[in-house]
Every structure is written in C-alpha cells, then in structure tokens.
Amino acid sequence: MSASAQPLPQPEEQVPLVVDLDQTLVRGDMALEGLVKVIGLGVRAWFTLLALLLRGPAPTKAWLARRLAHRPSTLALREPVMAQIALARQEGRPVILATAAHWRVAKRVAALAGPFDAVLASSYRRNLKGRTKLAAIQAHVGGPFDYIGDSPADRPIWQASRIAYTVGVDTGVPQQQRLAPAPNPVRALARALRPHQWAKNVLVFLPLATSGELAHPAQIGHALLSFVCLSLIASSVYLVNDMLDIDADRIHPKKRRRPLAAGDLSIPLAVVVALVGTLTGLGAGLFWLGWPAFAALATYCALTVTYSLRLKAAMIADVLALACLYTLRIAVGAAAIHVPVSFWLLLFSVFLFLSLGYLKRYIELRGSLREEHELLSGRGYTPSDEMIVAMNGVAAGMVSLLVLALFAEDMGHAGGRAGTYASPQLLWLLPLPLLYWLNRVWMMARRGEVDGDPVAFAITDKKSLTVGLLLGLILLLAKFVALPMG
C-alpha cells in the first residue's frame, strides 16, 4: 500500500505500534558494534569485510549476523521504549519490530524484548531503511500505525504514522511525542575521554625532577607538552578500549554507565575523535619534541592498542604490559627533555607497577560473582587464581622496595656517582613511606576498600597523597640540601 492510499479505519485499540531497533529499543547500533568486533577476528576477516562493504550495507549486515552472536545479557534496552511497548500490549495492540538490522540479529533481540507480533528486518538483498522500511511497514500493517524511532532517516515513516514517538531527534511532524531526550555528545565525550586518568601521566615529570632540570623553563615546557601528547593518546585509546569492551561493560555493574556502553556516545564519533587525538599527540611529539620522544610515544600507543586487542585477556602478560605502560610514561618524559633514563628508576618502576597491576586484577577477582573456575569476562583469570595473584603482587612490591634500597646504597657509596645528590644518605628514607603505603593498599584491597584502579584510588586518597608528597620532599632534600657531616 502506498503512503497516499486511504486505509479502512481501525479501532483505536488495534492500531499497531511499530518499534525501531538500533538506538531506539536498544542503546546502541548492532551493525556498527559488529564492525568493531571484527577487529578481533584477524586479518582475513578484515579483507572479507572490506569486500562486503564495497557491495553495500545489506550483504555486510548479513555476514556480520552470521559471524557474530549478540548475547541477550549484553543488550542495553531503553526503558521508556520498553514502557511504551508494555502499554501497547496491555491495550491489546499488535507490536512490530521494524529495523534496518539483519533479520538474524532482529529475531535474537525480539526473543529477549518480546514477544513481538512480527519482525521486519533487512536481508542479504534488501536494506530495510528509510522509505524501504516504510513500504514494508505499510504492506504488513495495511492501515494506520504508531512508530518509535530515533534517526533522521525515519522522517518519512513518522510523517506516515498516526503518532510519531521519538528518541532524541525532532521528527518534524505535529503528532510528535518525545520518549527520551537526545544525549549530549559533548558531555558524553568528555566522560569517555576520562580526563581524571590523566593524573597517571604526571610520571613524565619524574625525569625532570630527578635530573636537576627543574630550573630550566624550556625543559619544563617540553615536559608539559609530553604530558599533553601522552594524555591525548591515552584518551584516544580509552575510546578504542571502550568500543572493544562494549559487551563486557554492559554486564558490569559500574562500567555499564560508560557513554559507549550506555548508548550516549555514537561509535562513529568515538572513532573520529580517537583518530584525531592519536594523530595529534604523535604529530605534536614529532614536530616539537623530536624523534626520541616520538618513538617513545609511538611505542606507548602501539603497546596500549595491543593490550586492548589481545594482552588484557592474557594471563600474566596483561599485568606485565600494564607495568611497561607506566614505565613508558617515564621514558616519554626523559626523551622529551633529552636526558638518559636511570636504570634504577626503570627497574623500580617496573616492579612497583607490576605490583599495582596484580592489585588491579586482585580487586576484580575479589568482586567477581563467577564460579571458582570460570574465566572473568575479557580476562585470563578465574576466581581460584585470587591467592596466587595476591602473592605475586605483594612479592613484586617488596622487590621494588629492595631496588629502592639498592639505589640508595649505590648513591651513598663512596664509589658511587659523586655529586648527583647533595645528601645521598637521605635516600635511605625513601623505602619507609612506600613500605607503609604498599602494605596499606593491599590490606585495604583485601577488605574490599579499594574500588577499581589502585592508581585512581591513590590520587584521591588523602593518606596516599601524603605519602607521595613525603617521597617527593625526601628526593628534593637529598638532591639540593647538603647536610653537615659529623
């Protein structure tokens, strides 16, 4: 039936409710999420996908539907839409799912959110979108209908509907009823970039503080620029990580509120911002800081992406990668001001952050509700690994203290590098505050008082900040204050 035809009047209670799927019934786009998941399928899948994209959206969606199965538990249903569907069912009205997603995907979702009286969806040869979807709805309904949608491509359908329910966008028709406001992309993007995590990048200033270059404004400027470059790259990779983890985040009690998992941030916008941020960070590093800093930034970027794609699900390799990523922050800071990195500093950093990496996994294992030998989602550990993870983490922390003590001995020894520190004997004080902090944070984690990332915990915990200030004060005194020798 064409849009201009005059159908026979239907009783009020029999007018069907037609519901869109992507960004309407669910908070996300099934096809775009499928495209992101292909990244983890290997190079052969990438070339297959490229060939299908050249043939059009319908064959691509059909291939993705066959290769990728969406688990019902990973679907974030939109509550106002579900409420409208429930109301229509109470009134005895037919409820129809009409979507541009492939029919395999549509039927899986319908089985979760249903029952639906009918499912209209794309096939291998037909992409059910815009006017094509309108024609399919009119052919199936044969009369007036109400429609819930979210996209500007739905405007022909809204114009032909009795009541135009909208999620986010303006329908442009007088019979509009808004079920949910449009998400604020700027606010969602600001949350997804996680600027609070930039505090980890203050490690780039450590070589500046320990090299005696604090009195040179140009070196301070270079260190600040390296901080900005590293933060841009880190935030870009956070977006990539959230895209890859979108299913796991949706079943997590807290991570499900992340903008991509919650459907507040679109995947295309996240992809564009991630590319721009990465290229800007690498480009600025190359242009203003030179090749050594660029190489360190590029290595950090490559390792972070590799961690997101593969290493985070690999037992032991994941925490080693985390330790290396923190140590690379120090390398970036040293390369930016063109000073060599201390062997002691690198060794200390690796073991300290290896301990914190194990602590992060320990916290995840403590909070898991999975069975004893069931792998955590996206991780290479089971709850039965909790004890050995804790043992490895505490041991790595104690080794970092040993490295710090050996460093103090080396600096204070008569045959050491004389003149590097004005009072090297003060360096012996460094292990004490750190010993207190490591034992405290591990004991708090055991009690369930450390939530999530231990580094994020440290930058918000008053006692942890006090320990950090004390360590910095000891270093400054040892560097610049000469104590009288008896």
The answer on 207 and 79 residing in a single domain is no
Record the tokens describing residue 177, joined without a space: 């009823």
The answer on 223 and 124 residing in a single domain is no
Residues of the chain scoring pLDDT < 50 = 1-9, 414-416, 418
Residue 70: its pLDDT value, please? 62
The answer on 446 and 298 residing in a single domain is yes
Q: Residue 252 falls within a domain, yes or no? A: yes
Question: What span, in angstroms and rounded, lies between the C-alpha atoms of 178 and 181?
Answer: 7
Residue 73: its pLDDT value, please? 63
The answer on 219 and 172 residing in a single domain is no
pTM (2 decimals)? 0.85
**Domain count of the fold of the chain:** 2
Q: Residue 1 falls within a domain, yes or no? A: no
Residue 133: its pLDDT value, please? 96
Q: Residue 448 falls within a domain, yes or no? A: yes
The answer on 220 and 173 residing in a single domain is no
The answer on 193 and 135 residing in a single domain is no
- The CATH number of the domain where 147 resides is what? 3.40.50.1000
Residue 1: its pLDDT value, please? 34
Q: Are 403 and 347 in contact (CB under 8 A)?
A: yes
Task: Write out the residue range of the structural domain in which residue 248 sits.
Answer: 187-480
Residue 417: its pLDDT value, please? 52
The answer on 174 and 59 residing in a single domain is yes
Q: Residue 4 falls within a domain, yes or no? A: no
Tens-digit pLDDT profile for residues 269-309: 999 999 999 999 999 999 999 999 999 999 999 999 999 88
Residue 387: its pLDDT value, please? 94
Q: Residue 329 falls within a domain, yes or no? A: yes
Pairing state of beta strands 176-181 and 164-168?
parallel
Residue 288: its pLDDT value, please? 95
Contacts of 365-372 spanning 24+ positions with Cβ under 8 A: 365/389, 366/445, 366/446, 366/448, 367/448
Write down which residue in 115, 148, 182 finishes a domain: 182
Residue 318: its pLDDT value, please? 95
Burial class (CB in 10 A: 0-12, 13-18, 19+), 89: middle
The answer on 215 and 115 residing in a single domain is no
- The CATH number of the domain where 468 resides is what? 1.10.600
